[in-house]
């Protein structure tokens, strides 16, 4: 009689284990993202870079990259940074980096709002003052009117725009607090 093959029969001695190879495409994409992250960090100011709390070797490398010209050595150093970041959990660093970039976007927005109001006050006069007071009731109308008179005198006599700068700084104090509140609210939402 012929021996039939039993598929359910156990073969303990013939178990083969295979090594699972890492997906090279996935790794290359992750390294590419980390490379871009290193490039972004190299454009930060020294204070913002320090606030990321990077390990010492990565912090020094990013500082060095920031001062290098765009050549092969810079690219090699960015690859080194990406490799070092690949060994770490980068999610806290990405989150801090996103917050820094978000604050920068808020400051640009704030700058445009303040410039808009300054230009409106200079060109429209009392109508713009009334609207500003409706939006920001704590502004000192007398001080703003005095600055506008000084701006008018400076333009007539072709003097440097000192009062225009003073008006900008004064307005910035009111709109700055508004944007900081928005940033704090975003941080509170992300903490909870």
Q: Which tokens belong to 121?
A: 């006050």
**If we measure between CA atoms, which residue out of 54, 51, 50, 74 comes closest to residue 64?**
74
> How far is the CA of 70 from the CAs of 39, 65, 94, in angstroms?
11, 9, 24
Least confident of 5-19, 79-93, 135-149: 5-19
102-180, CATH topology level: Diphtheria Toxin Repressor; domain 2 (1.10.60)
| Residue from 123, 134, 127 nearest 167 by CA | 123
Average pLDDT of span 153-160: 89
Cα–Cα dist 172/73, whole Å: 42
Cα-based angle 44, 48, 54 (whole degrees, multiple of 5)? 95
Query: Is-contact 170 144, C-beta < 8 A?
Result: yes
Average pLDDT, the chain: 82
DSSP 8-state symbol, 137? T
Burial class (CB in 10 A: 0-12, 13-18, 19+), 74: middle
Q: Which of 175, 110, 176, 118 is nearest to 148 (CA)?
A: 118
Confidence of residue 177 (pLDDT cuts 50, 70, 90): very low
What pTM was computed for the model?
0.51
Report the sign of the C-alpha dihedral through residues 94, 100, 101, 106, in that order.
Answer: positive
How confident is residue 58, by pLDDT bands cut at 50, 70 and 90? very high
Residue 6's pLDDT is 57
| 3-state SS, residue 88 | coil
Has residue 56 got a pLDDT over 90? yes
Using CA atoms, how far apart are residues 3 and 184, in angstroms rounded to an integer?
A: 77
pLDDT cut 90: percent of the chain above it: 27
| Tens-place pLDDT, residues 65-96 | 999 998 999 999 999 999 999 999 988 998 88
């Amino acid at each position: 009689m012929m021996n039939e093959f039993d598929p359910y029969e156990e073969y303990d001695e013939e178990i083969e284990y295979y090594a699972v190879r890492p997906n090279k495409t996935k790794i290359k994409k992750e390294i590419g993202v980390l490379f871009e992250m290193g490039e972004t960090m190299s454009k930060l100011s020294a204070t913002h870079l320090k606030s990321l709390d990077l390990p010492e070797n990565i912090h020094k490398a990013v500082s060095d990259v920031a001062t290098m010209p765009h050549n092969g050595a810079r690219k090699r150093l960015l690859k080194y940074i990406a490799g070092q970041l690949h060994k770490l959990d980068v999610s806290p660093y990405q989150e801090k980096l996103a917050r820094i970039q978000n604050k920068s976007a808020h400051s640009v927005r704030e700058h445009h709002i303040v410039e808009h109001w300054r230009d409106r006050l200079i060109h429209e006069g009392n109508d713009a003052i009334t609207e500003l007071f409706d939006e920001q009731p704590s502004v000192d109308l007398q001080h703003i009117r005095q600055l506008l008179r000084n701006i008018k005198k400076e333009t007539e006599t072709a003097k440097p725009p000192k009062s225009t700068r003073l008006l900008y700084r004064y307005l910035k104090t009111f709109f700055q607090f508004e944007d900081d509140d928005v940033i704090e609210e975003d941080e509170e939402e992300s903490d909870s």
